[in-house]
Amino acid sequence: MPSRRKFMKHMVVGSAGLAASRVLASSRVLGANDRVRFGLIGAGNRGQEILQAAMRCANTEAVSVADVYARRLDEVKEFAPRVKMFTDFRKLLEDSSLDAVLIATPQHQHALNFVPSIQAGKDVYQEKTMAFNVEHAKRMRAAYVGSNRVVQIGIQSVSTGAWQRAHELARPELLGEITAIHAHMYRNAPYGGWNRPMPPDCTPERVDWKLFEGEATPRPFDADRVIHWRFYWEYSGGNVFENMVHQVGFWYKALNLQIPRSVTMNGGNYLSPKMQVPDTMDVAMDQPENLLFTWNSGFYNLHNGLSEQVLGRKGTVARYQTNDESREVTFIPEGATPAAKPAEVAQKADWTPDVVGGGDSSDVHMQNFIDCVRSRKEPNCPFEIGFRSAIAARMAVTSFRQGRKVCWDPESEEIV
């Protein structure tokens, strides 16, 4: 087995080689009706979901899939038997006919997949949270700026009618000056719904362990870390990265909010001993727009469900998880009685507690990406929203792990 130093050198050399061949490997110029050819990096549950969403888009072709775990490739073969399969994603990027790449790997790998994909001239659909830390976010930005690549971040709620309505209702003339945003994300599912059975074939022979580890601290092979990577700080930001970022990205775009001035996160792991990340948490983000954005979450009670309230001097814009997107966002004038209390809406909502939620928003979001690959227009969740929301999420995790308030230094672009 190669040493970690040799492995990382190979990663750097491989990326440099892709950058050097960028002109030759750049995507084709597509017409409005041309077929979009794409590959997938990361074929776990979410990866398979977005792969099938892209396959449902008109005039697209799934060409290749890469995953460090051979079991995932076998699963994809069941519904896409003709695609090429790779363990090493760099082999996938060697195909100059690929127009786009979908990335749904564990969060610590995002930059390691994204940068070579951009350098290879591919448009990218990047699952959230876009970047694992500040250094990765900057590395991704350096690759993206000036690349002329289309990048869609996987915060799919911004492609829904609910986002359009929120954007319309959150006007200053209607809402007034905003002082606070209260966001909640609750489900009653042990370990957040992330605890999965251990497949018997998750073995060193079936997993490229060094490629899985990437830049994380090197350890002996551990099947639990492959299957339950969301449990570990080295690969995951917990529910802050899984769900807070969705709600933050939604309102960051709707209100054009910037990176927080400071963030404090408290909470703990009270009922989930198998994982390192918290199962109950409260985040307070002091925004430079002079408003407080709070988010709290837990895995063992559904009462608050998924909801947000934007509090303005003239009224409140409320978003609740329901099956009817036309009723998902409402405006409540100051002094009026809300049409439905959050608890009532949460109990009525028929949604499955999993990693990303339900509905068809992934299909709409993917269609927007495919359309932009052809038109070269900016997609609904552009790189900048991914960058800001990723920094906010990392600030929260840093605050929790260091037990203190953290601030953002806009000059050095560092968490201090």
Model confidence pLDDT, tens digit, residues 38-80: 999 999 999 999 999 999 999 999 999 999 999 999 999 999 9
pLDDT digits (tens, 9 = 90+) for 192-250: 999 999 999 999 999 999 999 999 999 999 999 999 999 999 999 999 999 999 999 99
Counting residues of the chain whose pLDDT is more than 90, the rounded percentage is 82
Q: At 354, is the pLDDT very low, low, confident or very high (cuts 50, 70, 90)? A: very low
Nearest Cα to Cα of residue 265 among 390, 388, 395: 395
At 45, list the tokens: 């549950």
* This prediction's pTM: 0.90
User: Mean pLDDT, to the nearest integer, of 343-361?
Assistant: 50
In a 10 Å sphere around its CB, with 0-12 CB exposed, 13-18 middle and 19+ buried, how is residue 3 labelled?
exposed
What the block records as the tokens of 387 is: 């960058």
For the segment(s) 160-193+232-355+383-415, the CATH number from 3.90.1150.10, 3.90.228.20, 3.30.360.10, 3.30.390.10 is: 3.30.360.10
- Indicate the pLDDT class of residue 340, thresholds 50, 70 and 90: low
**Would you say how long the chain is, in residues?**
416
Mean pLDDT of all residues in the chain?
90
Q: What number of CA atoms fall less than 13 Å from residue 230's CA on the CB side?
A: 22
Sign of the alpha-carbon torsion through 349, 354, 356, 361? negative
Identify whether the C-beta of residue 207 lies closer than 8 Å to the C-beta of residue 69.
Answer: yes
**How far is the C-alpha of 335 from the C-alpha of 291, rounded, in Å?**
21
The CA distance from 174 to 183, in Å, is 20
pLDDT for res 71: 98
User: For the chain, what are the domain ranges?
Assistant: 4-157+366-375, 160-193+232-355+383-415
- CATH homologous superfamily for the domain 4-157+366-375: NAD(P)-binding Rossmann-like Domain (3.40.50.720)
